């Protein structure tokens, strides 16, 4: 299996079949497992083997297929699935930190990721936020005793691309663990581990499901980190992925590569067509040559991803007119869905942030985040162009 290419692993890695030899992965919708004897139960609580389960909060066969498949894709020794992407981010960081530890994070983060850092601060973890695209700031912020660095490899929603390889070198020089939220890079374009990430986190809710059905998350890392650091925290705090949701994610993985490549190709075509439009202040897309980190994006992902961020003329009023005039693209806040989705971060996903922080993060009143779906890109472009005329 280790020789298989990603597209083969997406279909077959981690497969396990019951005695019935089912073709499609089974949903083991069970909370518990029975033991042949009291002695077997005792032994399993001391140390469970890879095919032995105790309780769905600790692990489940369907969830285990998902974990093994994701570890195979990312090239990590192991993985642990969670109930949502945020449970994965929180688990990945909180499980390894304690009061007095120091964390350095890129400040351009999803609102909930910033909130997790705030919680850590309340429990005595010192957090330093830096401009993730400025390597000098990372160099100045890390120190002996920096336990972890945390970043979104492509930030939500401003699509800053962080040079993971250089940040990992800076972090590793002081012995810090590099935790990468890789949602926007997607498993298809991810080379996070090759670039030096120690822990890779996904919200599976996004591209992995890909049809906007279920919440889910995953943390990928070394066997030691997953089993000795993360698993005790997650299994006792309860953010377990439901077996049904794991099964949805497995079905999503079968088409993940096809979907994401098509979505990225459509995103590039749309970004190129809209770049320079007179109702747009800016088109931000890492696949465009004028993106500040275009070269890094190409090196790290080989593509620009599936999200295009636009700054509409006329601030919030212009942005709202644009959103309200769209017919195909729907107003919502998921991304990576087969359906194209548009979000106004300043009033939704990032509403909670103080005004000065929004300015610092580039979340202006005219900014909209456009997740490109699987519709015909010509129809999408026509919808977007027609709606821009209403601005």
Site of interaction with ligand PLP (CB under 6 A): 84-86, 89, 110, 112-113, 152, 156, 181, 183, 203, 205-206, 215, 217
Cβ at position 101, least distance to ligand PLP in Å: 22
Judged by CB, which is closer to ligand PLP: 156, or 266?
A: 156
Cβ at position 355, least distance to ligand PLP in Å: 22
Instruction: Return the structure tokens found at 369.
Output: 């985040």
Which residues pair with residue 344 across a beta bridge?
A: none
Cβ at position 201, least distance to ligand PLP in Å: 8
Of residues 334, 180, 189, 191, the one with CA closest to residue 257 = 189
Cβ at position 83, least distance to ligand PLP in Å: 8
Cβ at position 190, least distance to ligand PLP in Å: 13
Judged by CB, which is closer to ligand PLP: 193, or 218?
A: 218
Judged by CB, which is closer to ligand PLP: 89, or 274?
A: 89
Judged by CB, which is closer to ligand PLP: 249, or 374?
A: 249
Judged by CB, which is closer to ligand PLP: 78, or 337?
A: 337
Judged by CB, which is closer to ligand PLP: 217, or 252?
A: 217
3-state secondary structure (DSSP) of residue 262 = helix
Instruction: Give CA–CA dist 65/242, Å, rounded.
Output: 13
Judged by CB, which is closer to ligand PLP: 217, or 345?
A: 217
**Helix H or strand E encompassing 319:** helix 315-325
| DSSP assignment string, 185-237 | THHHH--HHHHT-SEEEEETTTTTT-SS----EEEEE-HIIIIIIIHHHHHHH
Of residues 324, 330, 337, 288, the one with CA closest to residue 309 = 288
Q: 326 Cβ partners below 8 Å, 6+ apart? A: 342, 383, 384, 387
Q: 357 Cβ partners below 8 Å, 6+ apart? A: none
Cβ at position 116, least distance to ligand PLP in Å: 9
**202 within 8 A of 182, measured Cβ to Cβ:** yes
Q: Give the nearest residue (CB) to ligand PLP.
A: 85
Cβ at position 168, least distance to ligand PLP in Å: 18
Tell me how far CA of residue 168 lies from CA of 143, 177, 364, in angstroms: 14, 8, 30
């Amino acid at each position: 299996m280790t020789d298989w290419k990603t597209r083969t692993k997406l279909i077959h890695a981690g497969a396990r079949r019951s005695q019935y030899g089912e073709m499609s992965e089974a949903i083991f919708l069970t909370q518990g497992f029975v033991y042949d004897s009291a002695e077997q139960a005792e032994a399993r609580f001391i140390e469970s083997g890879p095919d032995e389960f105790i309780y769905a909060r600790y692990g489940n066969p369907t969830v285990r297929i998902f974990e093994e498949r994701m570890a195979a894709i990312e090239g990590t020794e192991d993985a642990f699935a969670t109930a949502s992407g945020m449970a994965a981010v929180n688990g990945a960081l909180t499980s390894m930190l304690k009061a007095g530890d120091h964390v350095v994070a890129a400040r351009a983060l999803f609102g909930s990721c910033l909130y997790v850092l705030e919680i850590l601060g309340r429990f005595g973890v010192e957090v330093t936020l830096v401009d993730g695209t400025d390597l000098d700031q990372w160099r100045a912020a890390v120190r002996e005793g920096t336990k972890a660095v945390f970043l979104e490899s492509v930030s939500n929603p401003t699509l800053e691309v962080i040079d993971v390889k250089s940040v990992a070198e800076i972090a590793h020089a002081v012995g810090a663990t590099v935790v990468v939220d890789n949602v926007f890079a997607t498993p298809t374009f991810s080379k996070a581990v090759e670039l030096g990430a120690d822990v890779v986190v996904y919200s599976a809710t996004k591209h992995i499901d890909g049809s906007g059905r279920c919440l889910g998350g995953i943390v990928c890392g070394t066997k030691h980190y997953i089993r000795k650091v993360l698993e005790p925290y997650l299994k006792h705090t309860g953010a377990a992925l439901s077996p049904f949701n794991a099964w949805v994610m497995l079905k999503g993985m079968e088409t993940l590569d096809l979907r994401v490549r098509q979505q990225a190709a459509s995103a590039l075509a749309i970004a190129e067509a809209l770049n320079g439009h007179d109702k747009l202040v800016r088109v931000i897309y890492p696949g465009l040559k004028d993106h500040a980190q275009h070269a890094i994006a190409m090196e790290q992902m080989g593509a620009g991803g599936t999200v295009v961020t636009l700054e509409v003329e006329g601030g919030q009023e212009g942005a709202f007119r644009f959103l309200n005039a769209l017919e195909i693209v729907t107003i919502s806040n998921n991304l990576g869905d087969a359906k194209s989705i548009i979000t106004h971060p300043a009033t939704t996903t990032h509403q909670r942030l103080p005004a000065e922080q929004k300015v610092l993060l580039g979340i202006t009143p005219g900014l909209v985040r456009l997740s490109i779906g699987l519709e015909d890109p010509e129809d999408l472009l026509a919808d977007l162009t027609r709606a821009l005329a209403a601005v």
